[in-house]
Amino acid sequence: MLSIEQAKQMAKRLRSSLESRNQAMTHSAALETVAHQLGFKDWNTASATLPHENAQPAIAFDKTIPILRMFDETKAREFYLDFLGFSVEFEHRFEADLPLYLGISRNHLHLHLSEHHGDSSPGSTVFVPMQNIEMLRDELQSKRYGYGRPEIVQQGWGQILEVHDPFGNRIRFCQS
């Protein structure tokens, strides 16, 4: 990506090129022209978007993946895969008889489930903003899960559909 300084140099070269052909252009007109050539609405938008040459890269975060504690692989698979509809992304054990670390996902929601002591505390809550909460409720209720049939609760700031896993963790799906 070009920097602000490089865009300014482009405007300066444009002015010089036009002046060598006896065509005058103001500096601000050259900046506006360069901004348009780079796909921006105007120079103010370009200068607010383009990085400075010596600027430090911004700290950027990818995605958050909560880790939830589990104690029983069979119950975890029944709840998260069969009931909630997650798919397994990966499974990891250091050895066959050691605790499981399981990565699961559904659409853009990723969770890690761990049998490892110290990875997380049972009783955690994960807050999940979402859309189409009624569809999720209907899907979950149609599965006739023996340990819960969640309902939507209206709050002042949105609708909540809360599920409780077999290990005391809660997932609060929320639609604003």
CA distance 70 to 34: 57
Q: What pLDDT score does 102 carry?
A: 97
Residue 37, both tokens: 């050539």
| Cβ neighbours around 116 below 10 Å, total | 14
- What is the value of pTM for the model shown? 0.68
Helix H or strand E segment including 142:
helix 133-142
Residues 22-70: pLDDT tens digits?
999 999 999 999 999 998 999 999 888 888 877 676 777 888 999 999 9
Q: What is the identity of the amino acid at 106?
A: R
In whole numbers, what is the pLDDT of the chain averaged over residues? 92
- Which residues are CB-contacts of 98 (< 8 A; sequence separation ≥ 6)? none
Sorted by where each starts, the structural domains of the chain and their CATH numbers stand as: 4-49 (no CATH), 67-175 (3.10.180.10)
Q: What pLDDT score does 48 carry?
A: 87
Q: State residue 106 phi and psi, 5-degree precision.
A: -145, 120
